[in-house]
């Protein structure tokens, strides 16, 4: 099981690196566009690139953030539960989360295939949408695996 958890962690870290590179790219592009725009030479399609890279930032940062529990976690109610009640709550929420992210990933893969078949591209730069959609779908499946890893940790008693 340690191999599974290590594999999930490595994939999550790799996705986080892609998210970080995308965020850095957004910042660099925005600063450059603002400077060039003030000189009358804006970067054509910068809004499209920022929007597509924003999807990468959100999608690719999700698994690692969830792995390290870096998201906002309101546990006022959960803390009032007994040990077994708390564990049952965590099992239920992780199970529902797995179902949700599996369905999201499945639908994003279907959407990516539809976009690839139709040849849908961005209006200005003609960038195809399907690689971004596939990438976010892969990250949603990775989030499914992160939640599976949480369940493994719950079973082992090493979750909290």
What number is the average pLDDT over the span 71-90?
Answer: 79
DSSP 42: P
Q: Let me know if 19 is exposed, middle or buried by CB neighbors in 10 A (0-12, 13-18, 19+).
A: buried
How much is the pLDDT for 158? 74
| pLDDT tens column, 82-106 | 878 888 888 999 999 999 999 999 9
CA distance 56 to 53: 5
| pLDDT tens column, 13-66 | 999 999 999 999 999 999 999 999 999 999 999 999 999 999 999 999 999 999
How much is the pLDDT for 117? 98
> What sign for the dihedral angle of Cα 126, 48, 26, 19?
negative
How much is the pLDDT for 53? 98
Average per-residue pLDDT for the chain: 93
Pick the closest to residue 139 from 113, 101, 110, 107 (CA basis). Answer: 101
How much is the pLDDT for 160? 64
- Pull the structure tokens for residue 154: 């719950």
Write down the pTM of the prediction.
Answer: 0.89
The pLDDT confidence band at residue 133, using thresholds 50, 70 and 90, is very high
CA distance 139 to 15: 7
Backbone angles phi, psi at 128, to 5 degrees: -65, 140
How much is the pLDDT for 69? 86
Residue extents of the structural domains in the chain: 2-156
CA distance 28 to 31: 5
**Do residues 146 and 67 lie in contact, with contact meaning Cβ atoms separated by under 8 Å?**
yes
CA distance 41 to 67: 43
CA distance 22 to 148: 27
CA distance 142 to 59: 10
């Amino acid at each position: 099981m340690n191999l599974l958890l290590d594999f999930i962690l490595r994939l999550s870290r790799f996705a986080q690196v892609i998210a970080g590179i995308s965020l850095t790219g957004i910042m660099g592009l925005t600063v450059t566009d603002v400077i060039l725009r003030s000189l009358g030479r804006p970067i054509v399609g910068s809004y499209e690139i920022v929007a597509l890279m924003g999807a990468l930032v959100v999608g690719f940062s999700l698994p690692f953030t969830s792995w390290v529990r870096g998201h906002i976690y309101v546990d006022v109610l959960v803390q009032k539960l007994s040990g077994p009640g708390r564990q049952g709550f965590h099992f239920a929420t992780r199970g529902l989360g797995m179902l949700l992210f599996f369905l999201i990933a499945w639908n994003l893969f279907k959407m990516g295939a539809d976009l690839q078949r139709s040849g849908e591209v961005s209006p200005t730069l003609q960038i195809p949408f399907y690689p971004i959609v596939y990438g976010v779908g892969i990250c949603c499946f990775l989030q499914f695996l992160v939640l599976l890893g949480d369940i493994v940790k719950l079973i082992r008693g090493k979750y909290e």
